[in-house]
C-alpha cells in the first residue's frame, strides 16, 4: 500500500463528499440509500483508481462512478427501462418555457419577474421540482445538467438510444419549468423586488 496514494485519494474524496451526497440524494430521494450509494462509490473508485489517467479529472471521474452505480441498480430493478417513464398528467409533456411565461407583457408592466424569480428561488424549490419529476426524466436531467454527461454518455449509461435522451431531457425540462412556474405563482415569488 502506497500511503501517499491513499492520502491523496482520501483528500480528494473529502473535497467532493458533499457533492456526491447531494447528487446521490437527488438520484435516490432517500437519505439512507444516498449514503449507501456514496459509500459504494468510494469503494469502487479506490478499486479502479489505476484507471484514472488524469488526476485533475478525479471529480468528474468519481461522479460518473456514482451515477453508473445508481443507473446499473435502477436498470436491474426494472425489467424494461424503456417503459420506465411513469404516466404523466394530461398536458404535462407539452413544451413549456418558464422564460416566456415570465416575459408576458402583463408581468413586465409592473416588475422584473425574471430577476424577482431568480432572487427568490430557493434550493429547496428546485429540489422539490426535481424530485417531482418521473424517475426516468429526473435521472437524465441529473446526468446531463448536474453531472455534465454528454448526451452519448447518458445514452450509454441508461442503455437507451440518443433520441430517447434528447426527448426525455426536453420533456423533463418542460415539466421542471412548469413546476417552478406554478410554485412561483403559489409562493408569491414574482412580487416586485424592494
Partner 1 sequence: MKHIHDPQIRCEEVLRQLFAYLDREVDARTAALIDRHLEACRGCFGRASFERKLKAHLKAAAHKPAPARLRSRIKDILDKF
User: For partner 1, which stretch binds (CB under 8 A), given 50-58, 76-84, 136-144, 186-194?
Assistant: 136-144
Alpha-helical runs (H) found in 58-194: 58-77, 98-102, 105-108, 113-120, 123-131, 135-141, 151-158, 162-186
Determine if 43 is a binding residue for partner 1 (CB under 8 A): yes
Rounded Cα distance between 130 and 137, Å, is 9
Determine if 42 is a binding residue for partner 1 (CB under 8 A): yes
Contacts of 128 (CB under 8 A, 6+ apart): 179, 183
Show contacts with partner 1 in window 12-41 (CB under 8 A): 13, 17-23, 25-26, 31, 35, 38-39
Q: Copy the grid coordinates of residue 117.
A: 424569480
Show contacts with partner 1 in window 79-118 (CB under 8 A): 97-99, 102-103, 114, 118
Count CB atoms within 10 A of the CB of residue 70: 23
* Minimum separation from the CB atom of position 191 to partner 1 (A): 19
* Minimum separation from the CB atom of position 114 to partner 1 (A): 6
- Find out whether 111 and 191 touch, Cβ atoms under 8 Å: yes
Q: Copy the grid coordinates of residue 160.
A: 437507451
Determine if 8 is a binding residue for partner 1 (CB under 8 A): no
Max intra-chain CA distance, the chain: 67
User: For partner 1, which stretch binds (CB under 8 A), given 51-59, 74-82, 142-150, 185-193?
Assistant: 142-150
Residues forming the site for partner 1 (CB under 8 A):
1, 6, 9-10, 13, 17-23, 25-26, 31, 35, 38-39, 42-43, 46, 97-99, 102-103, 114, 118, 121, 123, 126-127, 130, 141-142, 144-147, 150-151, 166, 169-170, 173, 177
Amino acid at each position: 500500500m502506497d500511503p501517499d496514494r491513499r492520502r491523496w485519494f482520501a483528500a480528494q474524496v473529502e473535497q467532493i463528499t458533499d457533492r456526491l451526497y447531494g447528487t446521490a440524494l437527488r438520484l435516490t430521494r432517500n437519505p439512507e440509500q444516498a449514503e449507501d450509494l456514496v459509500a459504494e462509490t468510494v469503494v469502487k473508485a479506490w478499486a479502479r483508481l489505476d484507471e484514472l489517467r488524469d488526476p485533475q479529472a478525479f471529480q468528474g471521474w468519481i461522479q460518473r462512478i456514482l451515477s453508473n452505480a445508481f443507473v446499473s441498480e435502477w436498470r436491474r430493478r426494472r425489467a424494461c427501462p424503456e417503459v420506465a417513464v411513469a404516466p404523466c398528467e394530461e398536458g404535462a409533456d407539452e413544451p413549456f418555457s418558464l422564460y416566456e411565461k415570465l416575459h408576458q407583457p402583463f408581468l413586465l408592466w409592473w416588475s422584473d419577474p425574471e430577476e424577482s424569480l431568480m432572487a427568490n428561488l430557493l434550493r429547496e424549490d428546485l429540489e422539490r421540482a426535481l424530485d417531482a419529476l418521473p424517475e426516468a426524466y429526473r435521472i437524465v436531467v441529473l446526468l446531463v445538467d448536474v453531472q455534465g454527461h454528454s448526451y452519448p454518455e447518458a445514452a450509454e449509461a441508461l442503455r437507451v438510444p440518443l433520441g430517447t435522451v434528447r426527448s426525455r431531457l426536453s420533456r423533463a425540462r418542460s415539466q421542471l419549468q412548469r413546476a417552478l412556474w406554478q410554485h412561483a405563482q403559489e409562493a408569491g415569488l414574482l412580487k416586485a423586488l424592494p
